[in-house]
């Protein structure tokens, strides 16, 4: 069954090669499955690495980019489909609408904001799609510790820790997505 995987990731070129290697590997695995990639539309950083990986194995790439960033050297111009939005919020809405699952690669503040939003939407039962962190070099260890602290301190229900999955390798992501089945979640507002 064909899927569209939404990947959130950083656009920095100043990161360790291991991050680029993992992003490219994830892209190649997505493309080899015949799945589509929908992403933030950039050609630089991990964004570009994952998109190039998808194309290397014959996969389809959907670039969603806001007008402000739609310029040469930033846009992944060889995407199979390019969608230009008015704002970053519009970009997220299009990516959400097209996605069957979400994967967060290492990235900056924008990546963090995007993945936290889809976790929040899942917590509020707006969707039940898979959300996976690719924890290359332990990048997300501190965030996962913090998310567990939120549960420990009573701000988040313990069962909401299952809203997302953490994978150390791209292959683990694909295995998780292959077997993912939504788990019924309690209403966040009941006995809040």
pLDDT at 161: 84
CB 84 within 8 A of CB 70: yes
Report the sign of the C-alpha dihedral through residues 74, 167, 174, 56, in that order. Answer: positive
pLDDT at 180: 95
pLDDT at 36: 98
Hey, what domains does the chain have and what are their CATH numbers? 4-177 (3.40.50.450)
CA distance 76 to 28: 16
CB neighbourhood size of 70 (10 A): 14
pLDDT (tens digit per residue) in 45-88:
999 999 999 999 999 999 999 999 999 999 999 999 999 999 99
Low-confidence ranges of the chain (pLDDT < 50): none
pLDDT at 132: 98
């Amino acid at each position: 069954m064909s899927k569209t995987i939404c990947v959130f990731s950083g656009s920095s070129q100043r990161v360790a090669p291991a991050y680029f290697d993992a992003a490219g590997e994830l892209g190649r695995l997505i493309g080899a499955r015949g799945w589509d990639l929908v992403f933030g539309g950039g050609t630089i950083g991990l964004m570009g690495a994952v998109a190039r990986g998808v194309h290397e194995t014959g996969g389809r790439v959907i670039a969603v980019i806001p007008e402000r960033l739609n310029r040469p050297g930033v846009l992944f111009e060889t995407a199979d489909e390019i969608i230009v939005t008015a704002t970053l919020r519009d970009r997220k809405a299009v990516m959400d609408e097209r996605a069957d699952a979400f994967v967060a690669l290492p990235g900056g503040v924008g990546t963090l904001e995007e993945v936290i939003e889809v976790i929040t939407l899942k917590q509020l039962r707006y969707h039940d799609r898979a959300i996976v962190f690719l924890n290359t070099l332990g990048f997300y260890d501190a965030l996962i510790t913090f998310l567990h602290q939120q549960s420990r301190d009573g701000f988040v229900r313990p069962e909401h820790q299952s809203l997302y999955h953490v994978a150390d390798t791209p292959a683990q992501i694909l295995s998780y997505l292959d077997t993912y089945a939504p788990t019924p979640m309690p209403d966040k507002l009941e006995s809040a």
